A and B are shown apart, each in its own frame.
Chain A
């Protein structure tokens, strides 16, 4: 299903040739994975695109080494299916943006790493960037560069692998990614504490994370969103949810200890493994704010990352000024905000600063808003200058996704 103006390279060398030509002609190109978010973020002004759709397939997977290598265009579903066959998983639990964005398309493993997309387990197991061990990419001059490898520990030179994660295709076209995987937990359970307000929930989550029970997910679902999770399984007052994962005997012991501790704070119940799966999938995919289908105007959604104890304070402050609905993952540190009408960028960012720092990304908004509001957090001048210098070292003619992250890169 090729579209005019889009090139579909099948090998790294072809990627390199296409980028070299674009570089020589100073013709910017859009880098496309599955395109699950095309039409979101800062609009690109480009004449042509490079799709990695045909750079597809798992290239190396030895379950006993806990490492997988795949070409960047490999659909995430294919990766997850291969892992599931071996009772393994991606540690960082990448979210599926399609419900939120009302988009179709096939999320790719390259797109996941290019966006450093991490879900609830980020709080215990690290982000996508922490799992990424090696990359091969084509820089903006058309050179094939590799960094990292198939090993868990590597301090050989500068860690370009981390830099590529979360660079949104502005530094290079990822051709192959190598990443760490983990055994799937044998079992799971979720402790549900009912009736806590946002501040009490933040405290309860901090207490749980401070215990030695290894909570692998900590989220708070206020009254306004709770009925939209897992088909209403948690409805009836706000719910604070704490996930345990691991071997059967471990989860049994830890569940008991955690229930005992949480009992003092509210009404406690426990969800089994199946219910746990659906609750956390919906939290991961921001189900409460799921959008209408493409084209229909929807309320703006922010993704905010702050210190866990600051999340509920941010929401409380915003509520005094504007209409906002919110829920919390990462112990309160990942705040999903759905604004009533106006995205209120200045207000959101002002409060984040006042609460000790962090950042906000406008994940969903109409085109006019996205053109007017910085989608990604603007950087302080010194970092902005550094960011520009780094971009120049990878993509001297600014042909890769120009303007995707900010007007500078």
Chain B
């Protein structure tokens, strides 16, 4: 049985190196009408690609081209080409509009998601800003004498509390030539695991700039949590004592 391109179930062509059509299937003639050059079927913007890709040097190739059919002058085709002895066999498979529909739907959904996404982003940014504000207000510095001040801490003791405030506090203490600072824990609920090391490093930094740290108002659960991390304190004052006692104790000490 001899193969006859005329009966090919798809638009198929035999072309030479100059892309001149040697013969074509019945389906090809129906889809594109009769042309002498394969390039005549290809949309203007796809021609460079067709010339580059449809050559014997490419041997076997699969590519997308926009082609001008009788039905529609701008259709996407998957084109398969195979060369032997300077003759190229070409089969064109029309890409139906399902992908187009799909991409339109995708686009619509993405737009809707993006809208929601942006609203949420707005809220998230607002929340983050509010949270930062709260954190900033959660460790104010209160000077009580020329060389001593208090930092009352509030909320949960966690990493962020120090991240947000430590630089600012260090600058105040350093510029004000303070010698002692009392960290008051009465307003702290829980000491989170993430907060212990930053607290330690904050205390070390204070020591480095010559400020002695005193902790007060610690609850038993705070102490337990700090003990887990070998937290060492170098203070005579009882850490579980109240802020009032700490202030009394150190103010008296500075007058003696």
Partners in one complex: no
Binding site for B on A (CB under 8 A): none
Binding site for A on B (CB under 8 A): none
